Structure 1
Amino acid sequence: MAQLIYTANTSLDGYVNDADGNFDFTVPSDEVHGFINDLERGHGTYLYGRRLYETMKVWEAMQQRTDLSPVARDYADFWCRAQKVVYSRTLKAAETARTRIEPSFDPEAVRRLKAGASTDLSLGGAELAGQAFAAGLVDQVHLFLAPVIIGGGTRALPDAVRTRLELLDERTFGSGVVHLHYRVSGQA
């Protein structure tokens, strides 16, 4: 069975964006981006909330650019090859290839998707992740902690969900970003 893996770039105080929705503090260095590429490359399907999909869809247009760094080119290539499932009550049609829109998050459908997938699934978007955590669907967590405190915004991890995590790996990058890799080990 495939695993559902949540990855988030976050401030040290746990926010994926600030109170105004800005997330420029999470833009990765080439070193961090290359590491993320190695983590994400084998994922065959990305599950997104609408807001993160709106951010990520630029990778389809970027694939056509000739001026991308090798790290960005690599990411654009495998992002475009992957299947995408976007959970949105407002989007009616996908704006990228290999993308389908689902009007709501259905935990049973995701369980079936995991059971039938031959590659791991990537989960993105804090609100969607909260729903997946609450349903007991998340198997692993990758957090990339930026060396900044922003004091508010959208939390990377859900409120009102208790989950035990087992630390599998950690790494510090030259930019000061710290990567923490956890396995979800059950209800706390």
Structure 2
Amino acid sequence: MGKLIYSMIVSLDGYVADPEGEFASWAQPDEQVLAEVTKETSAVSTYLLGKRMYQMMSVWETDPEVIEQSPESTQFAQVWQRADKIVYSRTLESVHTSRTELRSHFDPEEVARIKAAAEGNVTVAGPTLAAEAIRHGLVDRLDLLACPMAVGGGVRFLPDQRIDLALEHEQRFDNGMVQLRYEVLSST
């Protein structure tokens, strides 16, 4: 049985995108951070993705320029490609990456079964989809890569509800990012 992990890059004030929906200028991991992300995600057997996260992440299989931009990028792409992916969208008609299935809605019972049967960990990416998993008590761990940037608003990392957490791990990187890992004790 794997853990269900909600993992995202966030601003220091808790946003995954700024008020204009932008994140690329401030949420780019450098090679040191990408190496750690690759190490962490090598234990992932299944990704649960919303439509926007899937469209953003699919470049790790479909865009040779992104895949080959560095040795660390190539390694991350290999890890991402070998995992199963489930995309939740009411508007997508098809998916264009291997090992990928499309669902029209989030089914907490199915996600619980996926988690129970997983050979590795399961990650949920995207704040809307993750909020749904958190509301159903399915998320076991939060993994944040906190950027040394406050954006003052935008798309929040966490839903508006109480979540009791215990810090399991922290790591600082040369570029100012900090990796934080929290066990979810309870959410109400």
> What secondary structure sits across from 2:92 in the alignment?
coil
CA distance in 2, matches of 1:170, 1:133: 22
Indicate the residue corresponding to 2:53 in structure 1.
52
2:166 is matched with 166
User: 1:85, CA displacement in angstroms?
Assistant: 0.2
C-alpha contact (below 8 Å) 1:4/1:120 kept by paired residues: yes
Normalised to the residue count of structure 1, the TM-score between the two structures is 0.95
1:41 aligns with 2:42: yes
Alpha-carbon distance in structure 2 between the residues aligned to 1:127 and 1:27: 21
Contact 1:63 1:77 in 2 (8 A): no
Q: Equivalent residue for 2:76?
A: 75
SS in 2 for 1:55: helix
Aligned to 2:22: 22
Matching residue of 2:2: 2
Q: How does 1:57-68 map to 2 (within 5 A)?
A: 57-62=58-63, 67-68=68-69
Partner SS state of residue 167, structure 2: strand
CA distance in 1, matches of 2:133, 2:78: 27
Q: Is the 8 A contact 2:3 2:115 kept in 1?
A: yes
Give how far 1:63 is off.
Answer: 5.1
> Could you list the per-position Cα deviations for residues 25-78 of structure 1 after superposition, in whole angstroms to 9, with x for gaps in the alignment?
111011111111111011111000111111001111235878431100001111
In structure 2, C-alpha distance between the alignment counterparts of 1:143 and 1:65, rounded to whole Å: 23
Matched letter for residue 93 of structure 1: S
Q: Which amino acid in 2 is paired with 1:87? A: Y
Structure 1 residues 63 and 3, CA gap change in structure 2 (3 angstroms): farther
Unaligned runs of 5+ in 1: none
Percent of residue pairs identical: 41
Match of 1:156 in 2: 157
Deviation at 1:20, TM superposition (A): 1.4
| Cα contact 2:16–2:155 (8 A) shared by 1 | yes
Query: 2:54 & 2:67 partners in 1: Cα distance?
Result: 23
**Count of residues in Structure 1 that have an aligned counterpart in Structure 2:** 187
Instruction: Tell me the equivalent position of 2:13.
Output: 13
Structure 2, unaligned stretches of length 5 or more?
none
Question: CA separation in 2, counterparts of 1:186 and 1:151?
Answer: 28
Q: TM-score, normalised by structure 2?
A: 0.95
